[in-house]
Amino acid sequence: MLTPEIDTFIMRMPKVEMHLHLEGTIMPGTLLELAQRNGVELPARDIVGVEQLFRYRNFAEFLTVYMALVRAIRSGEDFERLAYEAGTMLARQQVRYAEVMLSPMQHLNRVDLHEAIAGTAAGFQRVERETGLVVRLGLDYGRQYGPELAWEVLEIAQQAMKHGVVAWSIGGNEIGHPPEPFAEVFAAAKAAGLRLMAHAGEVVGPASVWGAVDALQSERLGHGIRSIDDANLVTYLSQRGVVLDICPSSNLWTGAARSWEAHPLRQLFDAGVPVTLNTDDPTFFHTTLIDEYRIAVRQFGFDVDDLCTLVLNGVRASFLPLHEQEPLLRRIEDELIALRQELGV
C-alpha cells in the first residue's frame, strides 16, 4: 500500500537507473526546437502535436515513432543538451548513478558518432559537477542492421571508452533477429574491456534470453520478462545472478505485457532473480523513475525492504569498477538506513 510515508520515502530515497536510452529522454519542447533548428520535418508543428506523437499501440509502432523522432538530433551540441537535461531530470529524482545508452544506428548517417558521444559525455560531466550524479555510457546496437555493420560501431565504442563508454549492447527489434549471430562481436567487445548487455525476452520468448546469456555471455539483460515462460531459465538466472533490468511502464506501453496483472515482475523477484527497476524511455512511456517505484508498490505489492533491494541490486549490477562500486554501495546503504529511521518505515 502506497502510504504517504512510503511515497515520501520513494521520492527521497537514493536511486540508480540502469536501463535508460538517452534519445528516450527528449522532452517534447526540446524535440520541437531541435527539429526546427535542424530543418527536420516532424508530423507536428506545436507542443500539443508533438505530445500526440508519443502514443502507440505496440512495440513495432513505438519503434517507428522512435526512429522518426530521433532524426531531429543532429550534432554534438544537441547530444550535450539532451544529456544535460536527462542528467538534471535524474538528479532531481535522487539518482546517484546511471548507465545511459545511445542508439548509434539511429544516427550513423547523420551525425559523427565520435562527436555525439563526446557531446553526451560533456553534458553528463556538467551535471556531475553541479549535482554529483555519476553517469556512464553504453552503445546499444540495433540488431535489425545485422552483425556486419556492428564491427564499425564497436570500433567507435572502443575509441570512446575515454569518454565514459563502459558497455556494449544490442537492442532494436527482437522478432526475426536472434542474439546468436552477434556472438563474435560480443566476444570482441569483452576482449576490449567493455561490459556486456542485451535486450532480450521483451517481445520474444525464452529462446532470446537463452541466446543472450549463452551465446553472448551478457551480464545484464534489458527487460527479460519472457523468462517467466521457462521455469528452468528462471532457475538459471537466479542461480547465476544474471540481472534483469525491468521497465514496467515500457512493457505496458509497447504491449510486451498485456496488463499489470500479467506482468511477471513480482514472480521474477520472488523467484530470486536479481532485478532492477528502470524507465527505458521515460518521455515515450510517460513515466519517471519515482513513478516506477510507486508502481512497484501499488501494482506489485512491494514493501520498503523490497524497494531497497531493487536499488542495491542496481548498484551491485553496475558496470563501475569495484573501487568505485563499493563506496557507492556503502553510501547508498547508509542513506537508505538513515532515511528509514527518519521516516519510520
For the chain, the structural domain boundaries read: 22-92+100-280
* pLDDT given at position 71: 87
The pLDDT of 318-324, averaged and rounded, is: 98
Among candidate residues 297, 266, 292, the one with its CA nearest the CA of residue 279: 292
Cell 513480482 sits at which residue? 266
Q: How confident is the model at residue 328 (pLDDT cuts 50, 70, 90)?
A: very high
**Residue 198, all three cell numbers:** 542485451
* pLDDT given at position 273: 98
Q: Is 128 among the catalytic positions?
A: no
Torsion of CA 275, 277, 281, 287, to 10 degrees: 150
Among candidate residues 80, 52, 56, 63, the one with its CA nearest the CA of residue 24: 63
The pLDDT of 331-345, averaged and rounded, is: 98
Beta carbons of 101 and 139 less than 8 angstroms apart: yes
* pLDDT given at position 57: 73
CATH topology of domain 22-92+100-280: TIM Barrel (3.20.20)
Sequence-ordered alpha helix ranges (H) in the chain: 4-12, 28-37, 47-53, 59-69, 76-92, 113-131, 147-159, 183-191, 206-214, 231-240, 248-253, 265-270, 289-300, 304-317, 322-343
Beta carbons of 185 and 151 less than 8 angstroms apart: yes
Catalytic residue among 174, 202, 324, 342: 202
pLDDT digits (tens, 9 = 90+) for 48-102: 888 887 877 777 888 777 777 888 999 999 999 999 999 999 999 999 999 999 9
Three-state DSSP state, 243: strand
* pLDDT given at position 235: 98
